[in-house]
């Protein structure tokens, strides 16, 4: 019987080994599933971690609240395209892109609008500054903090004023010219206190430039660029030393004439 007992003992030992292997595999599988649940599934179902890049003029909380993002919103249910569309309607935002990063990260890249000029409007009996970007979008109404170097544009006709609206395409060329000067040398605008738009009888406009700390004004045509400002400063230096009583200089059509007080 010793042979039978030995066989039985070895068989019993093999069964224990198989059971142990099954338990180890089952436990390992359970741990893997648990790890997947905690590291992948649960983050996907939890509120996503939203990071804004390039946002400075408004708080992320304000945008999330206005876009309807709450604690019940999960990473899985987060609609990137819809969210980007909502953020892009915010007046301060020029461009936006949204990237979902597995399992719970959302990165919102934002390009804010930058003012290139401002104008003034009467709202509720008060004169307030209105900031305009290079595309003619009004995105800030009533903000009192306006950079000193930002040019004041007067003569813009506005039927209504609201953030997000665009000024007439009639002024688009001028805005493009102002933006070009910003890119070349913003310091040019430190020499100007006002740029006035003067409509003509032919459906166009001319410009009246008012240098800073000077009584002389300069009438120019629609060609408003770096050379125009350089020429203006040269003429102003000559006038201050030779003809101090000049009040207006006409620089239109490539000629120069002036009026005295």
Q: What are the tens digits of pLDDT across the range 49-81?
A: 899 999 998 889 888 888 888 766 787 778 889
CA distance linking residue 229 with residue 216, whole number of Å: 14
Going by C-alpha positions, the residue among 227, 208, 225 that lies closest to residue 217 is 208
**Residue pair 139/91 in contact by the 8 Å Cβ criterion:** yes
**Which 8-state DSSP code applies to residue 84?**
H
Phi, psi for residue 9 in degrees, rounded to 5: -65, -40
Give the mean pLDDT of 206-221: 94
What is the band of 32 on the pLDDT scale with cuts at 50, 70, 90? low
Region of residue 68 (left: phi > 0; alpha: psi -120 to 50; beta: else): left
Pairing of strands 138-141, 217-220: unpaired
Q: pLDDT (tens digit, 9 = 90+) per residue, 157-180?
A: 988 899 999 999 999 999 999 999
**CB crowding 66-98: b at 16 or more within 10 Å, else e:** ebebeeebebeebeeeebbebbeebbbbbebeb
Going by C-alpha positions, the residue among 173, 199, 172, 177 that lies closest to residue 188 is 177
**Residue pair 54/111 in contact by the 8 Å Cβ criterion:** yes
Residue 144's CB is within 10 A of a number of other CB atoms, namely: 6
CA distance linking residue 176 with residue 174, whole number of Å: 5
pTM score: 0.76
Task: Considering only residues 103 and 51, tell me which one the structure prediction assigns the higher pLDDT.
Answer: 51
Q: Report how far Cα 113 is from the mean position of its chain's Cα atoms.
A: 4
């Amino acid at each position: 019987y010793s042979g039978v007992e030995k066989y039985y003992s070895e068989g019993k030992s093999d069964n224990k080994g198989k059971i142990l292997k099954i338990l180890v595999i089952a436990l390992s599988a359970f741990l893997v599933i648990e790890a997947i649940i905690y590291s992948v599934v649960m983050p996907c179902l939890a509120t996503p971690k939203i990071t804004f890049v390039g946002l400075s003029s408004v708080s992320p909380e304000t945008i999330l609240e206005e876009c309807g993002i709450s604690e019940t919103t999960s990473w899985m249910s987060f609609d990137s395209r819809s969210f980007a569309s909502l953020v892009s309607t915010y007046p301060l935002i020029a461009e936006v892109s949204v990237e979902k990063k597995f399992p719970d990260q959302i990165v919102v890249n934002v390009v804010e609008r930058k003012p290139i000029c401002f104008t003034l409007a009467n709202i509720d009996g008060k004169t307030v500054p209105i900031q305009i970007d290079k595309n003619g979008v009004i995105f800030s109404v009533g903000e009192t903090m306006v950079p000193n170097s930002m040019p004041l544009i007067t003569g813009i006709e506005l039927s209504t004023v609201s953030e997000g609206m665009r000024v007439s395409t009639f002024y688009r060329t001028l805005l493009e010219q102002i933006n070009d000067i910003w890119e070349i040398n913003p310091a040019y605008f430190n020499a100007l206190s006002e740029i006035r738009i003067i409509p003509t009888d032919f459906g166009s406009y001319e410009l009246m430039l008012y240098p800073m700390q000077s009584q002389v004004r300069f009438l120019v045509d629609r060609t408003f660029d770096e050379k125009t400002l350089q020429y203006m400063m040269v003429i102003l230096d000559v006038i201050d030393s030779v003809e101090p009583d000049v009040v207006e200089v006409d620089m239109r059509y490539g000629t120069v004439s002036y009026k005295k007080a």
